Chains A and B, each alone.
Chain A
């Protein structure tokens, strides 16, 4: 499978601050990047989809001004959680996709907002 890295793997921040999560596809070019969120004991929820060089498309109910996504290159995408609140505490996972239908997942970033 593909090699995907995420940084940081976990982060604790105070309410009102912003957190940036980096996702890198190390061995293939990610033309599309999917960002997911997973709350405890729940399945993955797609937050947004971005294509390299384009603005992200957000799923219904996801605030685009709160979750800023940048997909500037084929190997790097970032998700910034702005003005984080405790309800944003979750497991954030990126999933790069290439020219086929297979999706691989990053190791995830566990965000805790206090």
Chain B
């Protein structure tokens, strides 16, 4: 059974701080990793995807992947109240299916 684990939170950070969201996965064969943001009552929105070990930066977001440790993280720099949402980690499985974690609630306090 492929699993993706996330701390449910909530993770509270002050405005302007760095928010660090973590995710571990069980299937060593996973190749693709995704971070989605989901606002309450809305569908998920793709923020980042990463395929290779190391860091990938896009604006205020940085995804970090360590396949040896089966660990992927998302850093949000200069956090804003508008970043408050649930962040879903997803890992590809068989047939392009995504396996989702339960999500981490992020609260950015102004």
Contact = CB atoms under 8 A, between A and B. Distances in A.
B is bound to A: yes
B102 A46 contact: no
A21 to B, nearest CB: 13
Contacts of B31: 101
Nearest 4 CB-CB pairings of A with B: A108-B43, A105-B43, A101-B32, A43-B102
Interface string A1-39: 100000000000000000000000000000010100000
Contacts, number: 47
> Interface residues of A: mostly helix, strand, loop or mixed?
loop
A73 to B, nearest CB: 19
Contact of A43 (B43, B95, B97, B103): B103
Contact-size category for B: 20 to 34
A32 B96 CA distance: 9
B95 A49 contact: yes
B95 A102 contact: no
Interface of B: 31-32, 34, 36, 41-46, 49, 88, 90, 92, 95-98, 100-103
Given A1-B45, A44-B100, 10 more contacts: A44-B44, A49-B95, A49-B97, A93-B43, A101-B31, A101-B32, A101-B49, A102-B49, A105-B46, A110-B41
